[in-house]
Amino acid sequence: MMMAKTLSNRARWGLAGLAVLILLPAAALASGSPFLIGVVTRFLIYGLAAVSLDLVIGYGAMVSFGHAMFFGLGGYAVGIIAFHTAEAGPIFGWAGSNAALVVWPIALAVCALAGWIFGYLALRTRGVQFIMITLAFGQMVYFVLVSLQFYGGDDGLMIPQRNVLPGINLESPTVFYYVCLAVLTAWTLFCIRVTNSRFGMVLQALRQSERRAVNLGVAPTPYRLSAFVLSAVGTGLAGVLWANYAGLVTPDMAAWTKSGELMAIVILGGVGTLLGPIAGAAVFLGLEQLLSSLTEHWLLYMGPILVLVVLWGQKGLFGKLLETRHAD
């Protein structure tokens, strides 16, 4: 009964948040603040990456400190294809394309392959070793991107125009906003479906007691590796959207600091809630916007705020909201 009520509360908060996000562009334009559309688009993209990371941290108990590498790989796949299409000529005999239905699946396939390779190697370890090896893989990808002088090195790549979707003008900030919102909504619903499936139940059983699950005949690695690959694809999809949003990809997209930001967003919103990281992205990026306008040392203030939030509600902001609603 309590679980059903919690799920019901989660659905209410989710629908309320979705309604606000659907109405936001109209409100922003009516109030003469169109810049808000771009600001919230940014948090939708980060929310997508954070939901994907929560899948492995909150449900698979795999604390990945290198997940930004998939964010960077997804973005660079878009950037490299755009570079060859517009300037550098054919890549492996292919003239390139600006079609989203061609470019985006290629980018996601790259992230899935990288997720499978790095996940397979990392899952041979546990605990702190897993954290450190994912950090090492992430930094390895970062330095590889820095070393690609043909693709801009440290400066990265400019993307002259957004990818093309049939019948949809992605160059319009409002249209692109709704595309990002649709992708985030679809991916979050997919992740919720996955975690409530038999696969998700097994994944959570492994998180609670791997030994007990193994004694029941469960092979941990295939489940954890599948979750890791799914998470890599979702984070890569966020990178694809970011490349189109910013018109620029740089190695910093794959840096450990970006992984730290994503982890902070997940913790802030609520680990193992899926909807929480979306709220966490809004709060984190909102605070970043506010504090950075006041001081260049905004990170000094962000740290204590995150600590206070974690102490106030161990399940994050969204977990605290669910508890408050249940108490009422």
DSSP assignments along 122-190, one per residue: HTTS-HHHHHHHHHHHHHHHHHHHHH-GGGTGGG-EE-SS--BBTTB-TTSHHHHHHHHHHHHHHHHHH
Residue 43, pLDDT above cutoff 60 = yes
Residue 5, pLDDT above cutoff 60 = no
Q: CB–CB of 316/308 below 8 Å?
A: no
Q: CB–CB of 57/271 below 8 Å?
A: yes
Q: How far is CA 109 from CA 223, 235, 236, 252, in A?
A: 19, 12, 9, 21
**Which pLDDT score, from 0 to 100, does residue 313 have?**
61
Burial class (CB in 10 A: 0-12, 13-18, 19+), 216: exposed
Average pLDDT over residues 139-166: 94
Helix (H, G, I), strand (E, B) or coil at 241: helix
Q: What is the pTM of this model?
A: 0.92
Q: CB–CB of 241/43 below 8 Å?
A: no
Residues near 176 by beta carbon (within 8 Å), at least 6 away in sequence: 41, 162, 170, 244, 245
Rounded Cα–Cα distance for residues 300 and 312 (Å): 19
Of 64-78, 187-201, 301-315, where does mean pLDDT reach its minimum?
301-315
The partner residues of 324 in beta bridges, in order of sequence, read: none
Digit-coded pLDDT (tens) for 66-108: 999 999 999 999 999 999 988 767 776 676 789 999 999 999 9
Residue 275, pLDDT above cutoff 70 = yes
Please give the torsion angle defined by the CA atoms of residues 96, 100, 103 and 104, in that order, rounded to the nearest 10 degrees.
170
**Which pLDDT score, from 0 to 100, does residue 302 have?**
79
**Which pLDDT score, from 0 to 100, does residue 310 have?**
72
Mean per-residue pLDDT over the chain, rounded: 89
**Which pLDDT score, from 0 to 100, does residue 1 have?**
45
CA angle centred on 279, ends 240 and 321, rounded to 5°: 155
DSSP assignments along 172-209, one per residue: SHHHHHHHHHHHHHHHHHHHHHHHHSHHHHHHHHHHH-
Rounded Cα–Cα distance for residues 258 and 270 (Å): 18
Residues near 85 by beta carbon (within 8 Å), at least 6 away in sequence: 95, 96, 97, 98
Q: Which amino acid is present at 16?
A: A
Q: How far is CA 107 from CA 74, 135, 320, in A?
A: 5, 22, 36
Burial class (CB in 10 A: 0-12, 13-18, 19+), 76: buried
Rounded Cα–Cα distance for residues 46 and 89 (Å): 32
Residue ranges covered by each domain of the chain: 36-254
